[in-house]
Amino acid sequence: MKVAVYPGSFDPITYGHLDIIHRGLKVFDKIIVAVLVNSSKKPLFSIEERKKMIREATKKIERVEVDSFQGLLIDYVHKRKANVILRGLRAISDFEYELKIASTNRILSEEVETLFLMTNHKHSFISSENVKEIAKYGADVRGLVPEHVAEALEAKFSESSIWTLDRE
């Protein structure tokens, strides 16, 4: 069985990530979506919230497992007996960042390959970062993320505005 690990922060999952999962399933028998715990980035959503949103977004897609991992990605890939890391490339600007990750992983293990798939151009300007940025200012993000994720973003930012008002 050909298994790929699709790692990331997924804070939150977007249509761009879902596009990569759909494309990846044409190549692999199973995709393990692996959410990184303890990223140096300060996440908006907890690990459990992120996993729940990914599960909801992929519930109609067979052959997808949602998990999380701590520490080195390569150790997790070995533990799951996979030998491919799947990553999406949106634009040339992603390349340097991805090259660094893929090259580091190659130094750590020659047995694991990183496979890049190109995101559909419709999604090439979606990132979790810009989704959060515009959702924070009340913009509708329904074209960029699934409905339940848009609702979770609205709830998160309304929570934080109540918190801000309380503190003022």
Q: Counting contacts by CB under 6 A, is residue 104 touching ligand PNS?
A: yes
Residue 117 in contact with ligand PNS, rule: CB under 6 A: no
Kindly state whether residue 73 participates in binding ligand PNS, applying the rule CB under 6 A: yes
Task: Supply angle C-alpha 53, 51, 123, rounded to 5.
Answer: 55
Choose the binding region for ligand PNS from 55-63, 67-75, 130-138, 148-156 (rule: CB under 6 A). Answer: 67-75
Contact predicate 81/112, CB 8 Å:
no
User: Collapsing DSSP states into helix, strand and coil, what is residue 25?
Assistant: helix
Which residues does residue 30 pair with via DSSP β-bridges, in sequence order? 3
- Applying CB under 6 A, does 36 fall inside the site for ligand PNS? yes
Task: Tell me if residue 93 is catalytic.
Answer: no
Give CA–CA dist 7/77, Å, rounded.
Answer: 10
- 7 contacts ligand PNS (rule: CB under 6 A): yes
Binding residues for ligand PNS (CB under 6 A): 7-9, 36, 72-74, 101, 104-105
